[in-house]
Structure 1
Amino acid sequence: MISYVLKKIGYALLTLYGVVTVIFLLFYLLPGDPAQMMLGQNESEEQLANVRAKYGLDKSIGTQYMYFLNDLSPVSFHSTDKSDFTYDNGKYTGVDLFTIGTTSTYFKWPYLRESFQKTGKKVSYIIGETLPNTMILALAAISVALILGLILGVISALYKNSWIDQLIQVISTMGMSVPSFFSAIIFAFIFGFVLHEFTGLKMSGSLYEMDDYGEAMHLQWRNLILPALVLGIRPLAVVSQLMRNSLLEVMGQEYITTAYAKGLTTLQVIKRHAFKNALNPVITAVSGWFASMLAGAVFVEYIFNWNGIGKEIVEALNTQDLPVITGAVLVIATLFILINIMVDLIYVWLDPRVKLE
């Protein structure tokens, strides 16, 4: 088991290294001068030179890439010379292990650098402020999809080929075919505007909102309802279809026939034997959807004005804030990899027949 986990971690690190490299090539080799993006149209050559020196933009591409990896690595090296780009100057959060000559070795959290537009604000702080809101939204959406999807899938399997089954299939197909951003607009208009007096919901709003006097932030759970429903529609349709098909396949196995022969009812057979064994494909779908929700929430968060990492990415794209975009993509990729590792371990728990390879 330990060797299996270590092998998965090794694959994860290689994948993450590939993601880091691709992101660097995509964002740091694009046309345009990041220094000009930060200063706007009224910059002077001296200001441009100072900014390029501060962020290492005056170095070669290869050197910038090595600095990029050095900042992201948990163990990194930096110069004690204040004139050098790698001088700490409080940018790292960690422990100074030892110093040899003018080079210090650090054990630290990955440094995602500073925002181009929010001067002096670390990208890690920006992500730390917005990622929890996105995680809450994604968890709420996947919970809606799981609970309703599993129930609908079981009902559909129990009433195979009946009008109930066909109705659930139609609803599932419609849920899959409608893009999330379109659903968000429809839901916001109908339930947040047209039916506002009955639902009490608003067209937009985040988890925390300032009160009318501008003195304190208050938790607004009702603002979670519409974006969670919209984000959960597509995975709900997938979960429902997969649960139906998987349960029907399991119900045809010999051990299910044996369970019926022992006098168990259909509900007892599903509860004790079939349900757990039918969950494997559902977990695969849920893991993929949950990870993709962190990225797919971009448009939903923007439409509902939900203060999450998706909305932050849209604003960063509009202002060409490359460090924020890079940091957000790296965090989402890391979470995606971690979720996949967890899912592989859950497979082993659900089905001991799965080999640890």
Structure 2
Amino acid sequence: MAGYFFKKLLYGLLIYYSVATIVFFIFSFSFPSPDELATGQRSDEKTKEAIKKEFGLDKPIKTQYLYYINDVSFVSVYKDLKEINVSKIQLISLGGNKIVLKIPYLRRSFQTGKQVNTIIKEAFTGTLILAVSSILLATIAGVFLGCLAAVKKDTWVDRLILFISTTGISLPSFFVAIILAWLLGFVLSKYTGLNMTGNYNDLDPFRGEIFVLKNLILPTLALGIRPLSIFSQLTRASVLDVLPRDYIRTAKAKGLSKTKIVTKHVLRNSLIPVVTSISGWFASLLTGTFFVEFIFNWKGLGKITVDALDNSDLPLVMGAVIVVALIFVFVNIAVDILYSILDPRVTLE
């Protein structure tokens, strides 16, 4: 077990630093000069020089890369700990240098001057709420419909569910978002009470910040339809594969009800491929809600990344990509652990 996690950790770190390296060089050479982005149209040469020095933009590209990797690393070396404003633990001090254990320091936004860590932390709450609500909707409805289609195989119920799920798979999330926003948030808003755009929170003059549930409905539906459709088809196929097995026939011979057989025996042994899809989709929803968030003006990781690209805010774009890489590494390890819980035959080796 320990050996497995060590291997996974090394693999995850390799992916993480590879992504960080690719991101650094792509954005360093693809965007306009980073020092111009950082200093903007300022005419004061002293101000420009100070900003270049702060971001290390007065150094050769090789030195800038080493500074960047040091900043985004979990173990870093600094002369002055005031250089970074993130959670950290000093490990040892070597001469004038201090080695610290910390979360990745993603630097400051060119546009606002705020810490990128702070900006992403604030926005990630909205993305997390949206991703969790979408994956819950997709999982509960998808597994239920998949089981129903399998139990009612070759009936009109099965054919209807297959038709709906096939249609759902073929529809891109951003297209569904546009249709839902226009139809339910504009044309029929008088009857639905839903808005075309909105965030999960709002300011009430008497109660302060409040949670606005209705603003969550449309983006959740837009993001949840495709995974729901996929989960239903995967569940149907898995259940149909398990139903003919000997232990299911034994359960039927014992006189157990169909509901009990499905919930107690069939589902547990059918969920492995579904869990694979759920985990992948959850990671995608956490990191790939860009266009849906933009359409609904939902303040999340996707929305701030699109805005950062529009404003050429290099540190914020790079920070968002780094966070995406971390999420995928974490989810990959978590899924393997979940496999071993759901199916004892799956060993962590």
TM-score, L = length of structure 1: 0.92
> Is 230-239 or 9-18 further displaced after alignment?
9-18
Greater CA deviation, 92-101 or 31-40? 92-101
User: Is 2:127 the partner of 1:134?
Assistant: yes
Instruction: Name the residue aligned to 2:32.
Output: 32
**Which residue of structure 2 lines up, in the alignment, with residue 336 of structure 1?**
328
Report the Cα distance in structure 1 between the residues aligned to 2:287 and 2:277, rounded to whole angstroms. 16
Cα distance in 2, alignment partners of residues 139 and 93 from structure 1? 26
Structure 2 counterparts to residues 1-357 of structure 1, below 5 A? 1-80=1-80, 88-119=82-113, 121-211=114-204, 216-357=208-349
Instruction: Measure the CA separation in 1 of the matches of 2:327 and 2:32.
Output: 30
Q: What does residue 84 of structure 1 align with?
A: none
Determine helix, strand or coil for the equivalent of 1:328: helix
The answer to whether the Cα contact below 8 Å between 1:348 and 1:354 also exists between their aligned partners in 2 is: yes
Quote the sequence identity (%): 46
Give the AA of the match of 1:55: F
Displacement of 1:238 in angstroms is 0.5
Seen in structure 2, the aligned counterparts of structure 1 residues 273 and 183 have a Cα distance that, compared at 3 Å, is same
Post-superposition Cα deviations, 1:173-232, rounded to whole Å, max 9, x if no partner, equal 111111111111110111111221221111110011234x59943221211111011100
CA distance in 1, matches of 2:253, 2:207: 68
Aligned match of 1:83: none
Q: Which amino acid aligns with 2:15?
A: T
What amino acid sits opposite 1:262 in the alignment?
K
Give the distance between the partners of 1:237 and 1:43, measured in 2 at CA. 56
In the alignment, the residues of structure 1 paired with residue 326 and residue 84 of structure 2 have an alpha-carbon distance, to the nearest angstrom, of 25
Letter in 2 for 1:41: Q
Unmatched segments (≥5 aa) in structure 1: 81-86
Task: Using the TM superposition, give the Cα deviation of residue 38 of structure 1 relative to its aligned residue in structure 2, in angstroms.
Answer: 2.8
Displacement of 1:296 in angstroms is 2.0
Distance 1:89 1:267 in 2: 61
> Could you tell which deviates more after superposition, 257-266 or 163-172?
257-266
Equivalenced residues, count = 349
Q: d(CA) in 2 for partners of 1:354 and 1:90?
A: 43
Distance 2:2 2:79 in 1: 38
The CA distance in 2 between the partners of 1:147 and 1:23, in whole Å, is 37
Structure 2 Cα separation of the partners of residues 252 and 11 of structure 1? 39
SS of the residue 2:30 aligns to: coil
Cα-Cα RMSD:
1.8
Secondary structure of the residue aligned to 1:14 is helix
Deviations 1:36-60 (A, max 9, x none): 1233334454443332211001212
Distance in 1, matches of 2:275 and 2:86, equals: 38
1:29 is paired with a residue of what secondary structure?
helix
Secondary structure of 1:279's match?
helix
Scaled by the length of structure 2, the TM-score of the pair is 0.94
5+ residue gaps, structure 2: none
How many Å apart are 1:335 and its aligned residue?
1.3
Is the contact between residue 72 and residue 110 of structure 1 (CA under 8 Å) also seen in structure 2? yes
Q: 1:174 to 1:224 in 2, by over 3 A?
A: same
> Which portions of structure 1, spanning 4 or more consecutive aligned residues, are displaced by more than 4 angstroms?
none
Mapped partners of 1:90, 1:295: distance in 2: 26
Is the contact made by 1:78 and 1:88 (CA closer than 8 Å) also made in structure 2? Answer: no
Q: Distance in 1 between matches of 2:44 and 2:170?
A: 51
Write out per-residue CA displacement over residues 213-259 of structure 1, whole angstroms, 9 at most, x where no aligned residue: 59943221211111011100010000000000000001121221222
Q: Counterpart amino acid of 1:132?
A: T
Q: Which amino acid aligns with 2:227?
A: P
Relative to structure 1, the CA distance from residue 254 to residue 175 in structure 2 (aligned partners, 3 Å threshold; closer, same or farther) is same
1:36/1:43 contact within 8 Å kept: no
Read off the aligned partner of 1:24 and give its amino acid letter: F
Q: Cα distance 1:198–1:70, how it changes in 2: closer, same or farther (>3 A)?
A: same
Q: Distance in 2 between matches of 1:3 and 1:21?
A: 27
Q: Is the 8 A contact 1:184 1:227 kept in 2?
A: yes
* Counterpart Cα distance in 2 of 1:334 and 1:312: 18
Contact conserved, 2:336 with 2:348, CA < 8 A, in 1? no
